[in-house]
Amino acid sequence: MDFGFYKIGIWSAVLLCAVFVLNTKSWAEAPAIKRPFPQAGKTHYGGISCSYAPAARNQAVERFYELWKNKYLKPARTVEGGYKVSFNQRRETVSEAIGYGMLIVVQMAGYDPEAKTYFDGLNRFRKSHPSQGNKAFMSWQVDDRGKKRAYSATDGDVDMAMALLMAEQQWGDAAYRKEAEKIIDALLKDLIRKDGSIRLGDWQQAHGNDSPASTRTSDFEIASFRAFHQATGNDQWLKVVERCFAILNQLQADYAPKTGLLPDFALQQKDGTWKPAHPKFLEGHNDGNYGYNACRVPWRIGFSAIYSNDEKSKKIAKRLMNWIVSTHASPAEFKAGYKLDGTPTTQSSKMVFTAPTGVAAMASENRDWLDGTFRLAAKTTDSYFNDSVNLICLLIMSENYWSPEY
């Protein structure tokens, strides 16, 4: 007998068994995906549906996701195992971008086998760059070398907390929820005023820069606040929801009765009511107009309307969409900015303005506008901000986007 070959055979068998055991262990430890993409047909919305077949909608989302991922989702050089969403060509990022990235990849699990790796990498990056004001939050801007702006921006942290709640329900790991609860508690402590109105970031609390009170209408993430209430049982979040509705309704009634348009920023007056911010309040000449912040309101309020079948959100969306549909022949004509009386501030168009109106169209039952927006959104690419908001709106318009439920 050739004992050399016999020994080789024995060791080969042992090696094969070891590989099998390791692979079996790996498969056994792989977390089950509870809500795999696509969810179209499983997520029940309270609005109208796009006319395109579910398979066509799903394919459009998949194509755009691949484009977005290849263009913006990058390994973080300063955080081992970390990922970030590049904000610009200098590979800087912002907390808003990390929030969008976490929301997107958790929804794409089931289609993308690396979704959990990306999500955990984004979450690792978030935790590696805490805000100076409250360490539960992320610094609002971080460059490619890890240098950061000190304080937070509200919407990024709200989106991150929401994404962590989604992650718990997607992969079944309670650790995600514990992380979400830390952010949610910090939001109530530092970013929500006693009357339920929302601060711009933790720098206002840290520096005492909160008089007069100011707010950003695109931070009114009703669906997220409802999820926070369900997850924690804290009724303060219901007060925040009602305060958001009160401010939005008052601003529409007092400053945009014909258009339903909302300002980027609003300031509280001595009598307790709110008014559009003055030019150069924080970011530029359009701070009191419908600009690059408020353009996200139709997505935020529209998703609240259709996911919860919420009449208060529907009314706000309908006021805006009634004006949009009656004054624009098609989504392609919608401009990238307006004064609250409906006068365009530019003749250019951007998908970050147009795509959210498709979500609001679902709530206001404007099917032609919804179909036209979906068609335009599926083929139009631009920069990080446009493409990220566009992709989230495509997920909603295709009825694939879901919210955590308790």
The catalytic residues are 96, 155
8 Å CB contact between 265 and 281: yes
Reading the block at residue 10, the tokens are: 């024995």
Instruction: Name the one residue in this structure whose structure tokens are 């919608």.
Output: 334
The Cα-based distances of 257 to 75, 116, 137, 219, 241 in angstroms read 47, 45, 36, 22, 22
Helices 236-255 and 311-327 meet at what angle, rounded to 10? 30
Distance CA 16, CA 206 (A): 60
- Identify residue 347 by its one-letter amino acid code: Q
Contacts for 334 with CB less than 8 Å, ≥ 6 apart: 324, 328, 349, 353, 354, 357
DSSP state of 310: -
Burial of 110 (0-12, 13-18, 19+ CB in 10 A): middle
Comparing C-alpha atoms, which of 173, 184, 101, 207 is closest to residue 136? Answer: 184
DSSP state of 183: H
8 Å CB contact between 37 and 110: yes
Number of helices (H), then strands (E), belonging to the chain: the values are 14, 7
- Identify residue 205 by its one-letter amino acid code: Q
Helices 115-128 and 154-171 meet at what angle, rounded to 10? 140
8 Å CB contact between 198 and 217: no
Sign of torsion, CA 359 250 200 348? Answer: positive
Measure the CA angle with vertex 362, ends 359 and 367; round to 5°: 115
Please count the other Cβ atoms lying within 10 Å of the Cβ belonging to residue 363: 29
